[in-house]
Structure 1
Amino acid sequence: MASTTTVTCNAIVPELLNPHNYKHWSSRVRTYLVAKDLWDVVKGKHPTPDAEVENKAWMKKNAEALHAINISCGTEMFSLISEIDTAMEAWEVLEKVFKLRPRSEIEEKERHERDTTIDAGQARDQGTCNTSCLPKFADLAKMAAPTTPASYQPYANANPGENNANNFHDRYIPFFRYVEDGDWDNAKECLLGLGSDADNALRAKNSYQNTALHVAAIYRHVHIVKELVQLMTPEDLEIIGELGATPLVALTRNCKVEGDSIEMAKYMIEKNNRLVWIPVTFSNMIPVVEACGWSKWELGRYLYSVTPTEALTPQNGPSGTELLRLCFVRLKMLHIAWDLLQRCPILAINAPMLALAETRTAFLSGTRLTCWQKWIYNLMSFFRRILKGLLKLLGINTIYELKLIHLQIIKFVHWMGQVASSQNNPHEYWLVKSMFAATKEGHVEFVIHIIEGHKEFIHMHDETNSTIFHFAVECRQEKIYSLIYGVEKEKRRHIGLAGNQSNKSMLFNACHLSPLSRLNHIQGASLQIQRELQWFKEVETMVPSEIHNLRDNVNNLTARELFTLNHKNLMVEAERSMKETATSCTVVGALIVTIMFAVAFTVPGGNNGDTGLPVFIDKKLFMVFIVSDTISLISSTTSVIIFLGILISRYAENDFLKSLPTKMMIGLFTLFLGIVAMMVTFSCALIIMLHGKYSWIILLSILVASVPVSSFVWMQFPLLIETFISTYGPGIFDRKVKPWYYS
């Protein structure tokens, strides 16, 4: 059995010679021989026998060159030249064996002598060739190196006895190499030269266990795939190759141009439509699933269109379930998912439902959008109608596509919930597992549709004996928590709050630091600690007061003490972050105060020498200038005072709930107002000085002046709004949400 490529730390080549790397190998060895001044013995002539000194030097260089070639060959390759004494002969043998290209003059002469039945010109016109057109590969090797072992088979098959694929002889190597290179003309002549053995060559496997059709599909040679499919029988197309795949699956993994892959797939399936049924040996997945798994979406669509429904039913393996899961996880093939659910509703249960519940971007509630993106998302229908052409230019089109996906997903979940309810066996395990997975990701929409059909799931427990209510607290999913909270107080206790042990467990869950996935989307450590405090106080009000003083079994601490311990580092980071923000804003505010104070006494146009009053005091625009300067001075001064107050404030836990966030909001708002008023002051002064002339300069200056304002709004306004909503808004816990549970 032939071995595969051997990698070594050889100083000459990084990879020993094998049937697939001759081109790179020869280039590296040649470069080495040239560098060592040994190339002349490989391509030069032997010195005359009477030149003793030159002869000894040549023999030494020949030995060095031959040694370099020998140690650069793998075991099988070395067997070709093991009994050759000169570097020149060794190089020629390897060149003839592994660098077969269009026929040499010697081959043409031999063909002319043997071809007695077909005129050479006619053969070229018709593209045909007598079976003796090419010398057998074994004959070439024999002519080049008479000592070549007869048992040498670099493409030997590892699985003998399957479809004659084990009969790989060295004479098939040129055919396979031409197929790999995309040279069908020479590959075809090789087949004709094999005569009756051509069929075996089509079914034979190389050292990678691939047939010629596998090789053509892998290297994306569409024209060769077409020719080979015509020459092969339908059964030949079912030969299993590398990694247990048919040629159809091979092109799903390797073809980068999907148009080519679809064209090749059509050739194969038209010849043998059973190929869409044959799964990969190792994964047990049929071709359409493999295509989607390798993100070949266009090919996947085509294969799905020609794959019978029966091949995707649970009775015939896991392919249908996996295909539906891929469609949900990748969100690229929702139309296939919907069609597949219509054709085989039973697939809606089990793994696909769990996969959909765990897909983060499948629902708006689990998608991390910025403040501006959420605003655009919610008004997308309006923007789509009015600014259709501008959407793509601004990159908003992707948000619109996301909204369409979410609408489709909601339709899926509602339909899947109905299917689950209609089944005799509702697959309770998978439904509950999916609901807990959706709760972890915050997919409110998914949980709602499951609960609508299975209200009893509110009381179900997961592997850790937690209900959905407890799990929502543990995962910090306030929307799901609020939905369950909508039940009347006595009903809530029935959901899972009854019993001191249950209450204690939920309270101490609220003491732990939130998962990073929930904290990372909150801007700033100060808002993060505020959210943590809100959660703790919310749960603290839910449980009886006697639970507050209970101690945990590990640290012997109360809930409040444990909360302080677990959030110590976050508190330090929140204090540092808030002080750094206050310091930076203080510098900006002080700069504005200085400028606006100076502007008040250096008015445009100067003062009247007789009265001392400003020259433009009677102009309305001058009054706008004075008012805006005053507003900017006062507001920026206020912001400096507020930020200085933040720097010297107390940083206790409860201060992060309202006191510190309120100061930060006032400081940011007054600073923003000061910047806006300063830009208005600048614009008014410019217009007054130019007396209405050079309007293009005025317009350009005003546009440039709006840049600082726009920058502040873009970077800091979302933080200001988020802080306000979190501190004084309805809060993260919506008490007015419609309840789910009634009994």
Structure 2
Amino acid sequence: MVFYLFGGFPRRSTPILIAVSNGIVEMAEKTLQDLPMTIHDRDSTGKNIVLLAVENRQSHLYDFLLKRSHLRDEDLALHAVDEDGNSALHLAAELKNYESWLIPSSTLPMHWEVKWYEYVKKSLRPNVSASPNEIQKTPDQIFTETHKELLEKTKEWLNSTCNSCSFIAALIATVAFASSATVPGGVDQDTGKPIFQHHLAFRFFAISALVALCSSFISLLVFFALLTSKCQYKDFSKKVPRNLLFGLTSLFISMVAMLICFISGHFLMLDNQLKYYAAVPVYAVTFLVITFISLQQLPSFFALVRAKFHNVPERIYKEDPL
């Protein structure tokens, strides 16, 4: 086997370098236990296991390496640079295939990129972010340059989503306000109170109309705030995902409440025969369709929730086709 020298260490594709590049934690852990010095192995470009883990977006493996006693004792391995002077933060700043992150590509891929960059930045010394590489570029400069196109695409998707959701929220708010002002069955001419005020369905109608009106207004305000914000890189770490998640949740609640409001109000206007032979089957079919469509959208919603509450970005692995 041919060896190349870089900084006094051999450069080759050793088993631990291959394991780290492919995210095999078990193999990397066993190798470090039996051969602690392999932490200094480097490939043909001068990258050690830390740099390779960051370059290949192996977030779970990088997190594992940070917790290893080897890495705490060997500060040199954590803050090593490759032959181009790139530190781990330089490599984290470069735009890679964001489809590897455990989040739909249409749902704020910038969020994982910013979170990954910040996570690596916090694990290194403070002066690393200001250290330039061989071409005199700092990690912040590399991140801004390589993510410029992705930022524009994400802004376009965000604006389109906010416009669509704002229209739906405004429509629900209008209908909810009209529903709250129109009492099913009318009011008693003598007392001015609703005729069906003691019916359970009327209580559902009143409460759901109020919930639909309030949640739709909240959703409308949140999406308006997103539309008018500048959305810089740092905003995609917490602010934008939090507001988007809050706005989508409020919108979904308003849609469900509006449907309950309509069904309960409609239920009061029918006689017993129509209620149980015509209306109830239609209600059941409607809820089944809504449940089916909602279940299809839940993975994207939960992916956004995971993205918001996980400090370490999660990566997905695709099996190669046979």
Please give the TM-score of this superposition, normalised by the length of structure 2: 0.82
Mark the runs of 5 or more structure 1 residues left unpaired by the alignment: 1-428, 734-743
Instruction: Indicate the residue corresponding to 2:145 in structure 1.
Output: 565
Q: Please, which of 54, 64, 73 is the counterpart of residue 491 of structure 1?
A: 73
Counterpart check, 1:474 vs 2:55: yes
Once the two structures are superposed, residues 441-466 of structure 1 have per-residue CA deviations (whole angstroms, 9 ceiling, x without a partner) of: 43445545555655554433233332
Mark the runs of 5 or more structure 2 residues left unpaired by the alignment: 1-11, 315-322
- The answer as to whether partners of 2:93 and 2:140 remain within 8 angstroms in 1 is yes
Mapped to 1, the partners of 2:244 and 2:266 lie a distance apart of: 33
Instruction: Indicate the residue corresponding to 2:265 in structure 1.
Output: 685
Counterpart check, 1:644 vs 2:244: no
- The answer as to whether partners of 2:59 and 2:312 remain within 8 angstroms in 1 is no
1:629 Cα offset (Å): 1.1
Mapped to 2, the partners of 1:522 and 1:710 lie a distance apart of: 22
1:243-322 correspondence runs (5 A): none
Q: Please, which of 198, 214, 219 is the counterpart of residue 634 of structure 1?
A: 214
Q: Please, which of 303, 309, 319 is the counterpart of residue 722 of structure 1?
A: 303
1:155-234 correspondence runs (5 A): none
Pick closer, same or farther for the CA change 1:525–1:619 going to 2, 3 Å.
closer
- The answer as to whether partners of 2:245 and 2:305 remain within 8 angstroms in 1 is yes
1:700 Cα offset (Å): 1.7
Pick closer, same or farther for the CA change 1:713–1:456 going to 2, 3 Å.
farther
Is the partner of 1:632 in helix, strand or coil? Answer: helix
Pick closer, same or farther for the CA change 1:544–1:504 going to 2, 3 Å.
farther
Once the two structures are superposed, residues 229-252 of structure 1 have per-residue CA deviations (whole angstroms, 9 ceiling, x without a partner) of: xxxxxxxxxxxxxxxxxxxxxxxx
Q: Please, which of 104, 127, 141 is the counterpart of residue 523 of structure 1?
A: 104
Pick closer, same or farther for the CA change 1:451–1:631 going to 2, 3 Å.
same
Once the two structures are superposed, residues 267-297 of structure 1 have per-residue CA deviations (whole angstroms, 9 ceiling, x without a partner) of: xxxxxxxxxxxxxxxxxxxxxxxxxxxxxxx
Once the two structures are superposed, residues 385-439 of structure 1 have per-residue CA deviations (whole angstroms, 9 ceiling, x without a partner) of: xxxxxxxxxxxxxxxxxxxxxxxxxxxxxxxxxxxxxxxxxxxx88x34x44443
Instruction: Indicate the residue corresponding to 1:315 in structure 2.
Output: none
Amino acid at match of 2:283: I
Amino acid at match of 1:473: V
1:110-125 correspondence runs (5 A): none
Is the partner of 1:548 in helix, strand or coil? Answer: helix
Identical positions, percent: 26
Is the partner of 2:108 in helix, strand or coil? Answer: helix
1:633 Cα offset (Å): 1.1
Pick closer, same or farther for the CA change 1:458–1:626 going to 2, 3 Å.
same
Pick closer, same or farther for the CA change 1:480–1:500 going to 2, 3 Å.
closer
Instruction: Indicate the residue corresponding to 1:547 in structure 2.
Output: 128
Mapped to 2, the partners of 1:671 and 1:525 lie a distance apart of: 19
- The answer as to whether partners of 1:534 and 1:657 remain within 8 angstroms in 2 is yes
- The answer as to whether partners of 2:223 and 2:247 remain within 8 angstroms in 1 is yes
Counterpart check, 1:619 vs 2:186: no
Q: Please, which of 234, 239, 243 is the counterpart of residue 654 of structure 1?
A: 234
Aligned residue-pair number: 300
Amino acid at match of 1:679: L
1:669 Cα offset (Å): 0.6
Give the aligned CA root-mean-square deviation in angstroms.
Answer: 2.8
Amino acid at match of 1:508: H
Q: Please, which of 586, 596, 603 is the counterpart of residue 176 of structure 2?
A: 596
1:601 Cα offset (Å): 2.4
Amino acid at match of 2:23: G
- The answer as to whether partners of 1:472 and 1:480 remain within 8 angstroms in 2 is yes
Amino acid at match of 1:440: S
Mapped to 1, the partners of 2:150 and 2:241 lie a distance apart of: 16
Pick closer, same or farther for the CA change 1:438–1:490 going to 2, 3 Å.
closer
1:516 Cα offset (Å): 5.1
Once the two structures are superposed, residues 18-50 of structure 1 have per-residue CA deviations (whole angstroms, 9 ceiling, x without a partner) of: xxxxxxxxxxxxxxxxxxxxxxxxxxxxxxxxx
Amino acid at match of 1:563: F
Is the partner of 1:604 in helix, strand or coil? Answer: coil
Mapped to 2, the partners of 1:492 and 1:683 lie a distance apart of: 66
Counterpart check, 1:704 vs 2:280: no
Mapped to 1, the partners of 2:167 and 2:72 lie a distance apart of: 54
Mapped to 1, the partners of 2:113 and 2:148 lie a distance apart of: 12
1:513 Cα offset (Å): 0.5
- The answer as to whether partners of 1:507 and 1:536 remain within 8 angstroms in 2 is yes
Pick closer, same or farther for the CA change 1:493–1:467 going to 2, 3 Å.
same
Pick closer, same or farther for the CA change 1:594–1:606 going to 2, 3 Å.
same
Instruction: Indicate the residue corresponding to 1:574 in structure 2.
Output: 154
Amino acid at match of 1:541: K
Computing the radius of gyration over CA atoms, which structure comes out larger, 1 or 2?
A: 1
Please identify, of 557-566 and 541-550, the stretch whose mean Cα deviation from structure 2 is larger: 541-550
1:617 Cα offset (Å): 1.0
Instruction: Indicate the residue corresponding to 1:665 in structure 2.
Output: 245
Mapped to 1, the partners of 2:37 and 2:292 lie a distance apart of: 51
Counterpart check, 1:505 vs 2:78: no
Once the two structures are superposed, residues 574-609 of structure 1 have per-residue CA deviations (whole angstroms, 9 ceiling, x without a partner) of: 111111111111111111112111211223222233
Is the partner of 1:508 in helix, strand or coil? Answer: helix
Is the partner of 2:232 in helix, strand or coil? Answer: coil
Is the partner of 1:618 in helix, strand or coil? Answer: coil
1:675 Cα offset (Å): 1.2
Mapped to 1, the partners of 2:148 and 2:63 lie a distance apart of: 28
Amino acid at match of 1:585: C
Mapped to 2, the partners of 1:669 and 1:544 lie a distance apart of: 38
Once the two structures are superposed, residues 317-363 of structure 1 have per-residue CA deviations (whole angstroms, 9 ceiling, x without a partner) of: xxxxxxxxxxxxxxxxxxxxxxxxxxxxxxxxxxxxxxxxxxxxxxx
Please give the TM-score of this superposition, normalised by the length of structure 1: 0.38
Counterpart check, 1:538 vs 2:110: no
Pick closer, same or farther for the CA change 1:498–1:634 going to 2, 3 Å.
closer
Pick closer, same or farther for the CA change 1:535–1:705 going to 2, 3 Å.
same
Once the two structures are superposed, residues 561-583 of structure 1 have per-residue CA deviations (whole angstroms, 9 ceiling, x without a partner) of: 11100110011111111111111
- The answer as to whether partners of 1:524 and 1:577 remain within 8 angstroms in 2 is no
1:647 Cα offset (Å): 0.5
- The answer as to whether partners of 1:461 and 1:468 remain within 8 angstroms in 2 is yes
- The answer as to whether partners of 1:625 and 1:680 remain within 8 angstroms in 2 is yes
Amino acid at match of 2:299: P
Amino acid at match of 2:264: C
Pick closer, same or farther for the CA change 1:511–1:696 going to 2, 3 Å.
same
1:3-82 correspondence runs (5 A): none
Mapped to 1, the partners of 2:130 and 2:305 lie a distance apart of: 33
Instruction: Indicate the residue corresponding to 1:586 in structure 2.
Output: 166
